[in-house]
Amino acid sequence: MTTLSFEFFPTKTDEGTEKLLKVRDELAEFNPEFFSVTYGAGGSTRDRTYAIVKSLQERGIAAAPHLSCVGDSTADLRDLLNEYKELGIKRIVALRGDLPSGSGLAGSELRYANELVEFIRKETGDHFTLEVAAYPEMHPQATNFERDLQNFANKVKAGADSAITQYFFNADSYFHFVERTQAMGIDIPIIPGIMPITNYSKLARFSDSCGAEIPRWIRKQLEAYGDNSDSIVKFGEEVITDMCRRLLDGGAPGLHFYTLNQSQSSLAVWKNLV
């Protein structure tokens, strides 16, 4: 069975929240397995993340809050885990988290995602299904691919149930990653993270910072469209649909869409597939 899930990020304004509620309802019609909600660097969006998660749960929609360990004490994490249990949350996306600007790992009680996974398991047993991150094209801060694979294996060993990948535009990178992890004896589901293409300049900046490669032929075609947003969206839909179809045909267990709090492009791709 192919699973479907979507990601939101916390909004900063009441207007943004109203828009997000509309997007939530549009996406919920497709019965996703869950909605994940991101968590800012150093827990900077903690309250807003909690509010969105609460609104999803109250509507009977399964929510999976991101939880990062950098910048939060174990006492704070323990309190938040208890709050999520009281809300009825059953799934958490456990991450190291982005480092707050100008700081490093110094001072953090838990420094890496595998330590967070281990902590959650110690505190809550099997109450939560734990998702972790995977990086088919290597984490941008990893020293090499072999080390990155070992970091992933450490998260699985600590108790991760499944993984969601960083987005990518080359299906072969996903298949290679899965093959390498299977060779290491790792058999948890690894869900491809999918980023719709709607704005080239923003996508290029973000991809450069997070280490997601945009193939040259895609870059050149997007550059050729210039400011023609309709052409960019149409081309993006075709490219992402083709990649998703190949992923699913190749055995990917589902798709996780990074919606950027929009519904149109993610739904367009999903409708093309079903």
Tally of domains in the chain: 1
pLDDT of residue 209: 87
**The pLDDT of residue 65 is above 90:** yes
7 carries an active-site annotation: yes
Residue 46 pLDDT:
72
Range name among 61-75, 208-222, 231-245, 248-262 with the lowest pLDDT average? 61-75
Which residues 6+ apart lie within 8 Å of 68 measured at CB? 39, 42, 43, 95, 96, 97, 98, 116
Q: Over pLDDT 70: what percentage of the chain?
A: 93
Sorting pLDDT into bands at 50, 70 and 90, what band is 130? Answer: very high
Quick one: what percent of the chain has pLDDT higher than 90?
Answer: 72
Split at pLDDT 50, 70, 90, the class of 40 is low
Which pLDDT belongs to residue 27? 93
Q: Report whether pLDDT(101) > 60.
A: no
Structure pTM?
A: 0.93
| pLDDT band at residue 42 under the 50/70/90 scheme | low
Once rounded to an integer, what is the mean pLDDT over residues 85-92? Answer: 95
Q: What range does the domain containing 253 cover?
A: 3-273
Catalytic residue among 7, 115, 137, 237: 7
Question: What CATH number does residue 161 fall under?
Answer: 3.20.20.220
